[in-house]
Structure 1
Amino acid sequence: MRGVVARVALSSVPLLEGAQSCVQAGIFSSLQPSNLRLTRAVHPDSIQEHSASPAFSLLFDPQTSGGLLFSVPSDHADALLSDIHGLGADYAAASVIGEVVERQDETDGVCLHLVQ
């Protein structure tokens, strides 16, 4: 296997209420600039296509470290999501935001591709 690519649907990533408004107003955490170095894991085409989106900036916001990301086999995703939603309203935003697929080129490492 040549490695994997995480394909994330940026529009499927749950955001806290008001987060996009803060980004649009230029309000960021003091650690935001140093976290942007992590864009090296994002496919260059995705950066060009999505970097203007407030949601893109929020992927690198240090305050999102409270989020939890699961990677499960695709045939288990619906059942797991149903179980999580069954835990109550606090978990209503839980969602499938993408998939991990085999890399199609020879670039090393794991790469994030953002998709619509």
Structure 2
Amino acid sequence: MFIKISVESDQLITKTKRDKSGTYQVQEGWAYCHGPNGPHPHPQRIELFPPKNGNAVNPYAVGEYTLAPDSLSVRYSRFDVFTRLIPWEQAIKAARELIVADKKAA
């Protein structure tokens, strides 16, 4: 299952840490999620932590994304999510290639 995430701006939003010890930056995105009754009728606003290169924050470019496979891990017997995005079309292409390879192997 893929979660489609739309990034409509590469603008970063600076926020203050809860303990007031500093700031951090997030980027707005929109997630197309599913609930128990199927897809939500509207995308839901989310805040993303853009990737860093040292101390520099590199915002995601405007576009469509999904979670990278390495965004999910298990820690202390629970799922842990550290959001890392990959382009939507790249993920769809890789999924199609896997389906074709599985069919050939069967």
TMscore range, shorter length: under 0.3
The structure carrying a bigger helix percent of its residues is 1
TM-score by length of 1: 0.23
Greater C-alpha radius of gyration = 2
TM-score by length of 2: 0.25
